[in-house]
A and B are shown apart, each in its own frame.
Chain A
Amino acid sequence: MDIETVASLSSFLAALVLLTAFAMLVQKRIYSLIHLFAWQGLLLSANTAVVGYVAAKHHLYISSLLTLSLKVVLLPYILHVLIHRLKIRKEIETIVNVPMTMLIGLALVIFSYHLTAPVRELSSLVTRSTLAVALATVLIGLLMMITRKHAVTQIIGFLAMENGLFFAATSATYGMPLVVELGVALDILIAAFIFGIFFFHINTAFDSLDVEKMAKLKEVD
């Protein structure tokens, strides 16, 4: 494979990552949401491997494998088990105003493109153009956390943000140093256990995972 083909493959994967980000933004079924998240992880992992190949950076293969095991296998599995245990498999969330959410998402993509312009100009990496997509994925994850009211979907939004950050590291700098990547993966793993515990706590305390119900703490009573 020559560099050009690989670069265009990487852009294509980036576009698909963006597509999954948008799909997650408007997906109402929790189960499908987890599948989408796993898909996004798979695309990221593939992209990392491709970038690793084009840049001849072998530590990227390790991050690619790490992503594969953590974000495609382990985290979706944990989430599956959790929603199975919590008996929320069939829950469908109402999302207010899907078209508006999509439009905001589009605006975020444009915003990211604008924001990453200086980096794009300075960089000489073949992946530089995907940085905007990465930042957009981060911001769309953030938007998802804001628009969603279910604890599980908020967490998936959070993890999608993390995906975007990982993607950003790959596209801006061919990945962070390995020690940092490993540390971040460890943090995510700990976070996974914490939110697992949290789901049960919230479910016991509020009889639901709807975070709208958590409104006791206010400034003025």
Chain B
Amino acid sequence: MSTSLMLLILLSVPLCAAVVLAFVGDRRLAPEINILGSAATFAAGLGLALEVYEVGPMLAGGNFFFVDAFNVYLSVLTSFVSMTTAIFSRRYMRREREHGRVGHVGMRFYHAMFQLFIFAMLLCLLTNNIGVLWIAMELATLSTVLLVSLYRTPTAIEAAWKYFILCGVGISQALFGTVLLYFAAEKVLGEGGDALLWTNLSQVSGQLEPTVLSLAFVFLMVGYGTKVGLVPLHNWLPDAHSEGPTPISAVLSGLLLNIALYALVRCKVLVDGSTHTHRAGNIMMGFGLLSILVAAFSLLRQKDIKRMFSYSSIEHMGIATFAFGLGGPIATFGALLHMLVHSLAKSAIFFTVGHASQMHRTQEMDRIKGLFRGNPLVGWGMMFGVMAIVGMPPFGIFTSEFLILTATIKDAPLMTPFLLLGLGVAFAALLRKVQPMVAGEVPDYQKSMKVAHLPVVLHMALVLVIGVYLPDFLSQWFHTAVELLK
């Protein structure tokens, strides 16, 4: 099959599914349609990846789309996690509906927006036009805003409003940055849509005006940085991730943050090419390190379980941003790996968290107890997930964090103590908070329920495999991506 056909499938399946589910999203079979759509998307993503693996980077759809090792790996990850999330959400949303938290319209809305969100993220990744990249990013925000407020509780509405306003403001700054980028590109590439194409931009990045690009990067950093959830632009993130339905928390934490970081990294490559300095990298390192430290200490004070794990997402996005900022082959490799394993581990954790909070009908950690005995899969899943996320061997995050740490010691030794401090505090905080939840007697208010096994097991197995043995094709892939990002 040709690339453009594969791309067409990859993008049109979620879009069509969104339209279909907008009408039938409350029927009995809607979750199955949702799963089917995501599975088809995943299959198309795999097909595309295979082609890129064999043929190398390519353009499609008349320069409108561009696929290389970097974005295709994220596309596969995105479609994979959205598939498992769809599987998880089948049981979860059915239960929420039984509890009366969502109605007919809510279900239709939920399913349609879920697919639209996936479409927006994939468009974001695959488009060659950085203007369209911005539009898709905004679309991804808009499609999830009303999902965060799905339960219509005052706190949910507050969280969604915050999300809408802060991300709207943030992303507007990114648009200004894009305008500046276009201004610089136009000088070299001439007017018209071609001047916004990433493939053209990356070729001429050396000729772009450095002062303008530095200025543009500040705006892009603030804009996309808000969406990545970097401190001090992170205020919306814990609220939005904790108040929405858990499947949405899983995709927000696991995927959307990655996409925003992807956009930021793409821009950074251009800026680096133009300025020939490490300024953009330094800015990213600063934001990253601050995020790690603030998030790690915030973890200590959390009472709400989803809120706590959103802070953990901020911390990990901080690590990845820091590593991309640091640059160099080892750090970039580590960052790419980190994005992958963090996505897998964090969404797995959110799956277990969703079940745990449904079993106890609360998100307060004080009330969640005895998960090992109450439901071994949820208990052990959460335990292993947390062990993975804090960076214990043999899980994949240990590998990526180890790589990043090694690179830091070599290239920026002064940063090492801060990085270690952040990692250490997060380690202690998470394990201390999770231990009482999983161990102990089963409380009488805990309800047993059927849980979705597959997503959790699949994700954790992948994280483990990547930790123990990084498949050749994957490391090959990352090496190619690292080359691209030099």
Contact = CB atoms under 8 A, between A and B. Distances in A.
A–B contact with Cβ pairs below 8 Å: the answer is yes
Interface of A: 115, 118-119, 122-123, 135, 138, 142, 145, 151, 154, 158, 161-162, 165, 168-169, 172-174, 176-180, 183-184, 186-187, 190-191, 194-195, 197-198, 201-202, 204-206, 211, 214-217, 219-221
Interface string B170-213: 00100110111011001100011101100000000000010110
Contact of A177 (B131, B134, B139, B152): B131
B303 A221 contact: yes
B164 interface: yes
A100 B209 CA distance: 37
A122 B146 contact: no
Given A194-B142, A214-B158, A219-B301, 7 more contacts: A165-B175, A176-B196, A191-B168, A198-B157, A214-B161, A215-B158, A216-B154
B191 A205 contact: no
Interface in B339-370: none
Nearest to B187: A122
A158 B191 contact: no
A179 B165 contact: no
B271 to A, nearest CB: 14
Given A187-B142, A221-B303, A201 B215 contact: no
B267 to A, nearest CB: 16
Main secondary structure of the interface of A (DSSP, over half): helix
Contact of B142 (A135, A162, A168, A190): A190
List of 4 A-B pairs having minimum Cβ-Cβ separation, nearest first: A180-B131, A183-B135, A177-B193, A214-B158
Interface string B123-152: 000000101101100110010011001001
B239 interface: yes
A189 to B, nearest CB: 10
B129 A179 contact: yes
A209 to B, nearest CB: 11
A159 to B, nearest CB: 10
Contacts of B480: none
Contacts of A215: 158
Main secondary structure of the interface of B (DSSP, over half): helix
Contacts of A142: 169
B180 A119 contact: yes
B239 A217 contact: yes
A191 B163 CA distance: 13
Contact of B191 (A174, A186, A190, A191): A174
A205 B134 CA distance: 32
A123 B182 CA distance: 12
Q: Which of B168, B192, B211 is the most central at the interface, judged by chain A CB atoms within 10 Å of its CB?
A: B168
B221 to A, nearest CB: 14
Nearest to A155: B165
B183 A173 contact: yes
Interface of B: 129, 131-132, 134-135, 138-139, 142, 145-146, 149, 152-155, 157-162, 164-165, 168-169, 172, 175-176, 178-180, 182-183, 186-187, 191-193, 195-196, 209, 211-212, 215, 239, 243, 298, 301, 303
A177 B196 contact: yes
Contacts of A172: 179-180, 182-183
Contacts of A190: 139, 142
B453 to A, nearest CB: 33
A218 to B, nearest CB: 10
B154 A180 contact: no
Contacts of B192: 177
A118 B218 CA distance: 14
Contacts of A197: 146
Nearest to B131: A180
A158 B186 contact: no
Contacts of A119: 180, 183, 212, 215
A54 to B, nearest CB: 15
B105 to A, nearest CB: 11
Contact of B135 (A122, A186, A206, A211): A186
B123 to A, nearest CB: 10
22 contacts: A118-B215, A119-B180, A119-B215, A122-B211, A145-B165, A168-B176, A172-B179, A177-B131, A177-B193, A179-B131, A184-B175, A187-B142, A190-B142, A194-B146, A198-B161, A202-B157, A202-B161, A205-B157, A214-B154, A214-B157, A216-B154, A221-B303
B179 A165 contact: yes
Contacts of B138: 184, 187, 191
A70 B434 CA distance: 51
Contacts of A179: 129, 131-132, 193
Nearest to B303: A221
A115 to B, nearest CB: 7
Nearest to A135: B176
B154 A165 contact: no
